[in-house]
Each structure stands twice: as structure tokens, then as C-alpha cells.
Amino acid sequence: MVTDSGALAASYAACEHLARTHYENFPVASRLLPKAIRPHVAAVYAFARSADDVADEPGRETAERLGILTAYRQKLMQGTRRVPGSGYRLPDPTRAEFFPALFDTIERFDLPVPLFTDLLSAFEQDVTTSRYETWSELLDYCRRSANPIGRIVLRLSGYRDEALHRASDDVCTALQLTNFWQDLAVDWPRGRLYVPEEVWLPHGATIADLTGGTWTPAWQAALVECGQRTRALFERGRQVCDGVSGRLRYELRATWLGGTRILDRLETGRFNAFAARASLGPADWAMIALRTVTWKT
């Protein structure tokens, strides 16, 4: 744990700045969250966002990306064990500024370190894996790339109930999948396809159509199936919104409503990501705000 209060305050400030300024589909550390945990959510987000950028941002070779992520893992493990060497230097010093706040947050709330190493393993997989054969493989990726964030937020808020955590997993996975379907036209030119082969192949879809930017009935049918599976996860996890109290309840409701609204938009557009990227406008956010406070269990 960092003992230099000035360095710790500066680290939290850097994390909160990143959380405020980086674009996301859904608000991060928003005012709907309990005020006491917002800096800690921002610290977790800064760690995850910066590591994810290592996997995704252009200009680096595979070996360099994996090397930096290995350095993240080493710094994480050394810092949380509080052994000599916790000052392990990252190849990019600008990323190290997030770690004092992260270490402080992990120690204050007794957060399981495997949740953070799971995130890193998912980012490493992003570097080495561009397609998925089965739905199970994709869900395992989501288990590590998305679900830890929900579990961490619940633990920061004082919730340790495993049933609640499992419901959170369903919502987090559904949000991750919705983002995949939303960004298909963005990911494909980068060589990534998250629709599992066992889903698109039986519908008669072909890779050649994606390469040509052609949205066919076969790809539409495949994405409709993906959408139905995603919708089922949203519904199964909905109980997490009712299993918490206070401001967190409204944050989770708004997040759930935002995710399902994007899925609505995708369905309306026949999942054709090549035509336009599904997004939310002022009318959608007004509806989400209204339904957040008039939520029916």
C-alpha cells in the first residue's frame, strides 16, 4: 500500500481523469454510484482500460504487446503481495501512475487478485486470438474480460453474495456480447470476429461476404441467434438490479437498460453493422432515466 499521501492522491486523480474523459457506451464511475466508491471504481477502470489499450491500440507488434501485459501482471502481483520490488517499472511509465490507487483499492476492500489477473489474461487473448469456434469459448473469454468488473463493483459496495455475483456475471457477459455485435463492422477490418463459427456456419454465412462488406440474410440470421442468446443473459441477470440498494441500484438499472436498448437498436437494424453503428441518442437516455426510477421488479 502506498504511504506517500501526495503520490496516492495524484494517482487517484489520474484514474478519475481517465474515467471522465475516455469514451464508453455506459458511464464509468458515474454520479449514480455511491460517492464513496467512485474513486475506487475509477482506479479499477484505469487499470483495465490502460491494459486493454495495450492489446488494441495500433503501432505495436504482438511480442511488444504481450511483453507490456506481462509487466502489468508482474507489477500487480508484486504490489499486492507487498514484497520488495513492488515498484516494478512498466515499459511505458505513463501507465504506472494508475497502480498506487489500484493497490490501495485492492487492500482497502480486500479484492481478490485473480479478478485482475483474469482481466489481463483476456487482454492477452485479444492479442493472440481473433476468432472463436464455439459459443463456450466466447463465454469463457467474457468470463475473464467483462465479469470481473461487475464482481469488483459489487465487492466495493459491500456485496459478497454469490448468487448476486452470478447474476452480475450474466449482465456483464450480455453487455460484452452486445458490444461485439454493435462493433462487428469495426472489428472485422482489424481481423477480429467474435461471432462463433458454430453459430454462423450452420446459417450458411461466409467470411467472403464480410470481407466484401455485404450483409446477407445468412449473417442476419446468425446475428439474430446471437441476439437471442444475449437477450436471455440480460433477462437472467436482471435480478442483480433488484438485489442491491441505494444509488448502486440506479446505476445497475441504467446500465441494464442501456445495454438492452442497444440490443433493441441492433434488432431494429437487422444487426447490419455495415449500414450504421447502433447508438443511443438523447431520446433513448431520457427513456432510460425515466425507466430507471419507475423500474418494476
- Which CATH number does the domain housing residue 227 bear? 1.10.600.10
Q: Residue 152: which pLDDT band, with cuts at 50, 70 and 90? A: very high
In this structure, of 18-22, 172-176, 246-250, the range with the lowest mean pLDDT score is 18-22
Which of 95, 128, 161 is the last residue in one of the domains? 128
Q: Which residues pair with 65 in a beta bridge?
A: none
The predicted pLDDT at position 2 comes to 45
In this structure, of 28-42, 47-61, 122-136, the range with the lowest mean pLDDT score is 28-42
Whether residues 151 and 98 fall in one domain: no
The predicted pLDDT at position 31 comes to 66
What are the pLDDT digits (tens) for 44-81?
999 999 999 999 888 889 999 999 999 999 889 887 65
The predicted pLDDT at position 90 comes to 55
Whether residues 145 and 201 fall in one domain: yes
The predicted pLDDT at position 173 comes to 98
The predicted pLDDT at position 84 comes to 43
In the predicted model, is pLDDT for residue 143 greater than 80? yes
Whether residues 265 and 216 fall in one domain: yes
Which of 107, 128, 149 is the last residue in one of the domains? 128
Whether residues 111 and 157 fall in one domain: no
The predicted pLDDT at position 25 comes to 47
Range of the domain at 64: 1-128
Q: Are 13 and 102 in contact (CB under 8 A)?
A: no
Whether residues 117 and 157 fall in one domain: no
How confident is the model over 175-197, as a mean pLDDT? 95
The predicted pLDDT at position 113 comes to 95
In the predicted model, is pLDDT for residue 32 greater than 50? yes
Whether residues 182 and 98 fall in one domain: no
Whether residues 86 and 174 fall in one domain: no
Share of the chain above pLDDT 70, in %: 91
Q: Per the structure, how many domains does the chain have? A: 2
In this structure, of 14-23, 211-220, 252-261, the range with the lowest mean pLDDT score is 14-23
Q: Which three cell numbers, joined as nine digits, stand for 44?
A: 479499477
242-278 burial: b if 16+ Cβ within 10 Å, else e: ebbeebbbbbbbbbbbbbbbbbebbbeeebbbbeeeb
Whether residues 227 and 142 fall in one domain: yes
> Average model confidence (pLDDT) for the chain?
90
With cell 483495465, the residue in question is 48
Q: Residue 94: which pLDDT band, with cuts at 50, 70 and 90? A: low
Whether residues 173 and 274 fall in one domain: yes
CB neighbours of 147 closer than 8 A, spacing ≥ 6?
Answer: 118, 168, 169, 172, 173
Whether residues 18 and 153 fall in one domain: no
For residues 145 and 31, the model is more confident at 145
Whether residues 110 and 152 fall in one domain: no
Question: What CA–CA distance (Å, rounded) separates 106 from 95?
Answer: 18
What are the pLDDT digits (tens) for 17-27?
888 887 554 45
Which of 93, 128, 163 is the last residue in one of the domains? 128
Whether residues 119 and 148 fall in one domain: no
In the predicted model, is pLDDT for residue 15 greater than 60? yes
Question: What CA–CA distance (Å, rounded) separates 36 from 22?
Answer: 21
